[in-house]
Amino acid sequence: MNQSHGQPAYAVRFEWGPTGARAIAAGADVAVVVDVLSFTTTLSVAVERGIEVLPFAWKDERAAAYAAERVAVLAVGRFEARDVDGPAVSLSPAHLARVSGVQRIVLPSPNGSSICAALAEGGAAVVGACLRNRSAVARHVAGAGTIAVVAAGERWPDGSLRPGVEDLWGAGAVLAALVDLGVTDLSPEARVAEVAYRGVEEDVASQVLGCASGRELVEAGFLDDVGIASEVDVTGVVPVLAGDGVFRAAD
């Protein structure tokens, strides 16, 4: 990979997916991961409720073994949660907002969770951001030095990266909040994300609802998830990945 792809000339960087995350996180002081639909939105709901979250890169039998090892509840997929009686622990933020008696969960996802786990292995300080906590995250990382903002994106059926516009807006929302705090030296890539968010800022909820990923969830019966993911600045909680691999609220 060409060194310039890591945007080393800039203090605030932006890229997509696992490969982009590794590129721009090299030498960065903090990495902000954004997966609006839905890993980091679900993460914000969990941590807001005092639930510890362990990201995990694989959604297979390894996840169950990891959950048992860490004495945690393994979150199931949205569709699996429909077959569970009562509120379920799942990737659905609406489901997670209704559970009780849960202290620690393993939350696997092929996008945001995988990126967080990979960045932690690389030694970066990792923060989970979404529309719900974008200003709180910006305040938390504004003085951190070099900041890498990563939009998780989605996956096409062949496994290739599908840039999800909702993650562009989520990342741009954090970047816009940083700029409003006086942070400068954004890369051109980061400026594009910032401008993208400002273009929908007054109508972001309907835009998330109408984008491809939003429509996919609505058609599958998860309108409430899209609604929660579209909330802006409704929480001051900043999930930070600690050295033990657990997301907890920043002090």
Q: What is the mean pLDDT of residues 52-81?
A: 89
Sheet holding 125-129, edge to edge: 12-16, 147-151, 30-34, 125-129, 239-241, 247-249, 52-56, 104-108, 73-74
Portion of the chain with pLDDT greater than 70, in percent: 97
pTM of the complete model: 0.95
Residue with tokens 């807006």, as numbered in its chain: 169
Q: Domain 6-249, what fold? A: putative 2-phosphosulfolactate phosphatase (3.90.1560)
Lowest mean pLDDT across 90-94, 164-168, 182-186, 207-211: 90-94
What pLDDT, on the 0 to 100 scale, is given for residue 86? 56
Tens-place pLDDT, residues 90-143: 999 999 999 999 999 999 988 999 999 889 887 789 999 999 999 999 999 999
Higher local confidence (pLDDT), 216 or 87: 216
What pLDDT, on the 0 to 100 scale, is given for residue 57? 85
What pLDDT, on the 0 to 100 scale, is given for residue 214? 98
Domain map of the chain by residue range? 6-249
Measured CA to CA in angstroms, residue 57 lies from 117, 121, 230 at distances of 6, 11, 25
Residue with tokens 């979250």, as numbered in its chain: 53
Q: What is the mean pLDDT of residues 228-251?
A: 97
- Phi and psi at 21, nearest 5°, equal -60, -45
Q: Are 169 and 204 in contact (CB under 8 A)?
A: yes
Q: What is the mean pLDDT of residues 205-220?
A: 97
Q: How many CB atoms lie within 10 A of CB 74?
A: 20
